Amino acid sequence: MEKIAVYRRLVKLNDGQAVLLRPLVHEDQEALVALFQATPEEDRRFLKHDVTDAALVRSWAEQIDYSQVLPIVAEVGGRIVGEAILRFGQRSTRHVGEVRIYLEPAMRGKGLGTLMLKEIIALARRAGLHYLLAQIVLDQTEVIKAFQNLGFKMEATIRDYFMTEDGKTHNVVILLLPLLAEAQYEF
């Protein structure tokens, strides 16, 4: 991802609003903190990290290594309204990327999530990945549908894999998107 520093894409949402998609940079620390500080409790329950920890969120922008993780942010009027992350696998999973996405509630249902996922898919292909993987709590049916609409297939369900702060467990689905054309065999 040698040219990621110059990556920019201006997209239009279903309502006509323009949104800039670009890589997260060091200067985004406070804007990223602001995005996650406003996260509703219901959303925070299903995030892997404690996004109320401003120091943790700042560290994501401070310590960016694009060879390990490629965070793309959605910006409107200088404010970050969403983030999609492509995390690159290592060693035996170096051909697999994991995708995560978060949008502030006001930006949902406008097509932004789909546009960001399409960008992550395109960037994963350019990086030579073979698969994209997503882990989603089974209760988040709308999120699962959005991924499936872009070609992700359910590969597995893991019972009680995710535990919320209150100790309640949730099933997680593993969704996989093949990025290479499947080999056709003739016998």
pLDDT digit string (tens) for the chain, length 187 residues: 556 667 899 999 999 999 999 999 999 999 999 999 988 888 888 888 888 888 989 999 898 999 999 999 999 999 999 999 999 999 999 999 999 999 999 999 999 999 999 999 999 999 999 999 999 999 999 999 999 999 999 999 999 999 988 899 999 999 999 998 655 556 5
Spans of all domains in the chain? 4-135
Contact call for residues 80 and 86 (beta carbons, < 8 A): no
Order of strands, sheet of 69-76, starting from the edge strand that comes earlier in the sequence: 9-12, 18-23, 69-76, 79-88, 96-103, 131-137, 169-178, 153-163
pLDDT of the residue at 44: 86
pLDDT of the residue at 5: 61
How does DSSP assign 117-156, residue by residue?
Answer: HHHHHHHHHHTT-SEEEEEEETT-HHHHHHHHHTT-EEEE
State the alpha helices, DSSP H only, in 5-89.
Answer: 29-37, 41-44, 54-62
pLDDT of the residue at 6: 77
pTM reported for the whole predicted model? 0.89
Q: Among 3.40.50.10470, 3.90.380.10, 3.30.1330.60, 3.40.630.30, what is the CATH number of 4-135?
A: 3.40.630.30
